Structure 1
Amino acid sequence: MLIGEYQHIVDAKGRVFIPARFREELGLRFIVSKGLDNCLFVYSIKEWALLEEKIRSLPLSKARNLQRFFFAGAAEVEADKQGRVLIPQSLRDYASLTKEVTIIGASNRVEIWDKQKWEDMCEGITPQSIAEAMDELGF
């Protein structure tokens, strides 16, 4: 399970350090794609295949926009010896990644956020919204 929150920097070449704990779970190579809320999603090859399978099982009328969104800009990446991955410019632009980033574990994926966007998004999470979601889960 991917959990935790880390602060890092996008270097001049567009590389981002992926924490060792996440790399252990993601494997040697993994997939970076557009995510929801203008962040990036990072999946292990295994989790990416599960996502692809679920999307392909939908009728084309429902699947086509998901396929376009997730697959068109996705990139397979591999960390260098220092644990950095090169994020393609198109994905950095999509997520507004310029300097400071927050990298979080989100169960079966990692998310890479512009630091300010992450902070803004967190401000929108209220105790009431969490309580309502927990009620739906039966807790």
Structure 2
Amino acid sequence: MAFFTSEYECKLDAKGRLVLPSKIKGNLPEVSGNQLVIMKGFDPSLVVYTMQEYKKIHSKFAALSDFDAAQRKLKRQFFKNVSEVELDGAGRFLIPKGWIEHAKLEKEVIVIGAGNTVEIWNPDLYKEYLIEDSEEYSDMAKKFLDE
């Protein structure tokens, strides 16, 4: 299992390519090779999965029933927001244009190691989704981790 942490200031090049930070790239499992999956996040961000991690989620969505309208709708929404990407020799991958628009990415981006995934954010939007208050952070940790 991949293990990603920390945050990194990065840049998109003129073609919409991002170089993965070396610490992120170094934690990619060999079994993934150069293949990654990038998804539009629920927040205005992008989520990058190793192929191993993506397959876990993929199987859950693929198992949804084609005979149920709500499940078909969820399945369709999920899969339309997924794109396979490949790292080139320089450790870069091309972010599809629609994904750049979804996350409102510009030249400057923040790359976040988020456990088993990596998130890509517009720096200004990222700040809006952080917990600024240490007491709120403590309360949330207690609520969700003390269960």
- State the TM-score bracket (shorter-chain normalisation): 0.7 to 0.9
Paired residue for 2:18? Answer: 16
Structure number having the greater helix percentage: 1
| Distance in 1, Cα, partners of 2:125 & 2:13 | 19
Which ranges in structure 1 are unaligned for 5 or more consecutive residues? none
Paired residue for 1:127? Answer: 134
1:104 matched to 2:112? The reply is: yes
| Distance in 1, Cα, partners of 2:71 & 2:114 | 23
- Structure 1 residues 95 and 65: CA distance shift in structure 2, 3 A: farther
SS at 1:130 equivalent: helix
Match of 2:40 among 15, 22, 34: 34
1:71 matched to 2:92? The reply is: no
TM-score (norm 1): 0.86
Cα deviations by residue, 1:25-77 (Å, 9 ceiling, x for unpaired): 33311100101211000001110010112334556566445433332132111
Paired residue for 1:54? Answer: 60
| Distance in 2, Cα, partners of 1:70 & 1:129 | 31
Paired residue for 1:117? Answer: 125
| Distance in 2, Cα, partners of 1:3 & 1:63 | 33
- Structure 1 residues 56 and 75: CA distance shift in structure 2, 3 A: closer
Aligned-residue sequence identity (percent) comes to 33
Which ranges in structure 2 are unaligned for 5 or more consecutive residues? none
Paired residue for 2:94? Answer: 86
Give the aligned CA root-mean-square deviation in angstroms: 2.1
- Structure 1 residues 49 and 62: CA distance shift in structure 2, 3 A: farther
Which of these two proteins has the greater Rg computed from alpha carbons? Answer: 2
Per the TM alignment, residue 96 of structure 1 is displaced from its structure 2 partner at its CA by: 0.5
Equivalenced residues, count: 138
| Distance in 2, Cα, partners of 1:24 & 1:68 | 33
Per the TM alignment, residue 135 of structure 1 is displaced from its structure 2 partner at its CA by: 1.6
| Distance in 2, Cα, partners of 1:63 & 1:6 | 37
Residue identity in the other structure for 2:101: D
| Contact 1:25/1:44 (<8 A) preserved | no
